[in-house]
Structure 1
Amino acid sequence: MPRRRTPALVVAALLTVGLAACSTEAAPAVWSPPAEPSPSATPTAAGIPPGQAPEEAFAVGVRQLRVNRDGDRPLPVTLWYPARGEAGGAAERSAPVAGGRFPVVVFSHGLNARPTDYATLLTRWAAAGFVVAAPTFPNTSRGAAQVNPLDVLNQPADVSYVLTEVLALDQRAGDPLRGRLATDRVAATGHSAGGVTTIGLFTLGRDERLDAGVVLAGTALGVGSTFAGTAAPQLFVHGELDEVVDYSSGKDAYDRVPWPKAMLSLPQGDHGRALLTDRASLRVVSDTTVDFLRWSLYGDQAAKRRLPANATRGGLATLDNRL
Structure 2
Amino acid sequence: MPRRATPAMLITALLLAALVGCSTDAPVRRAPAAPAAPAAPEPTAPATPQVPAGHAPKNPYPVGVRDLKLNRDVRALPVRIWYPAAGEDGPVRRGAAAAEGRFPVVMFSHGLGGRPDDYATLLTRWAAAGFVVAAPTFPHTSRGADNNVLDVLNQPADVSYALDQVLALDGKAGDALRGRLDGERVAAAGHSAGGVTTIGLFTASRDERLDAGVVFAGTALGVGTAFAGAAAPQLFVHGELDEVVEYAAGKAAYDKVPWPKAMLSLPKGDHGRALLSDGATLRVVSDTSVEFLRWSLYGDPAAKKRIPTDATRGDIATFDDHL
TM-score (norm 1): 0.89
Of 11, 16, 19, which aligns to 2:22? 16
Q: Indicate conservation of the 8 Å contact 2:55/2:298, yes or no.
A: yes
Contact 1:14 1:110 (C-alpha < 8 Å) held by counterparts: no
* Alignment equivalent of 2:85, drawn from 83, 86, 97: 83
**1:196-232 CA deviation, whole Å, 9 max, x = no partner?**
0000000000000000000000000000111001110
Aligned residue in 2 for 1:282? 282
Measure how far apart 1:46 and its partner are: 3.2
Pairing 1:48–2:51 present = yes
Provide the secondary structure at the position in 1 that maps to 2:52.
coil
Equivalent residue, structure 1, for 2:60? 57
Structure 1 gap segments, 5+ residues each: 19-42
Q: Which whole-Å CA distance do the structure 1 matches of 2:276 and 2:269 have between them? A: 8
1:301 is aligned to 301
Higher relative contact order (CA 8 A, sep 6+): 2
Checking the alignment, whether the CA contact within 8 Å between 1:46 and 1:230 is kept in structure 2 is no
Aligned amino acid, residue 64 of structure 1: D
Residue of structure 1 equivalent to 2:243: 243
Q: CA deviation at 1:276?
A: 5.0
Q: Over aligned residue pairs, what C-alpha RMSD do you find? A: 1.5
Q: How many residues in Structure 1 have an aligned counterpart in Structure 2?
A: 296
Q: What amino acid does structure 2 have at the position aligned with 1:131? A: V
Partner in structure 1 of residue 105 of structure 2: 104
**Fraction of identical pairs, as percent:** 70
The 1:186–1:318 alpha-carbon spacing in structure 2 relative to 1, beyond 3 Å, is same
Give the TM-score taking structure 2 as reference length.
0.89
Deviation at 1:84, TM superposition (A): 1.1
SS of the equivalent of 2:214 reads strand
Letter in 2 for 1:177: L
| Deviation at residue 143 of structure 1 after TM alignment | 1.4
> Contact between 1:234 and 1:261, CA under 8 Å: does it hold in 2?
yes
Cα distance change on mapping 1:276 and 1:310 into 2, 3 Å = farther
Mapped pair 1:225 → 2:225: yes
Contact 1:15 1:110 in 2 (8 A): no
CA deviation string 1:266-310 (max 9, x = no partner): 000000124654600000000000000000000011110000000
Alpha-carbon shift at residue 4 of structure 1 (Å): 2.1
- Which residue number in structure 2 is paired with residue 174 of structure 1? 174
Which residue does 2:76 correspond to in 1? 74
- Aligned partners of 1:181, 1:143: CA distance in 2, in Å? 32
Instruction: Name the CA shift for 1:74/1:148 in 2 (closer, same or farther; >3 Å).
Output: same
Residue 11 of structure 2: aligned partner: 5
Q: Which residue of 1 aligns with 2:267?
A: 267
Q: 1:6 to 1:44 in 2, by over 3 A?
A: closer
Alpha carbons of structure 1 residues 17 and 92: separation in structure 2 relative to 1, 3 Å: farther
Contact map agreement 1:238 1:269 (CA 8 A) in 2: yes
Deviation sequence 1:137-170 (CA, Å, 0-9, x none)? 00000012x2201100000000000000000100
Alignment map for 1:85-164 (pairs within 5 Å): 85-87=87-89, 89-144=90-145, 146-164=146-164
- What's the secondary structure of 1:10's corresponding residue? helix
Unaligned runs of 5+ in 2: 25-45
What is the CA-CA distance between 1:45 and the residue it aligns to? 1.8
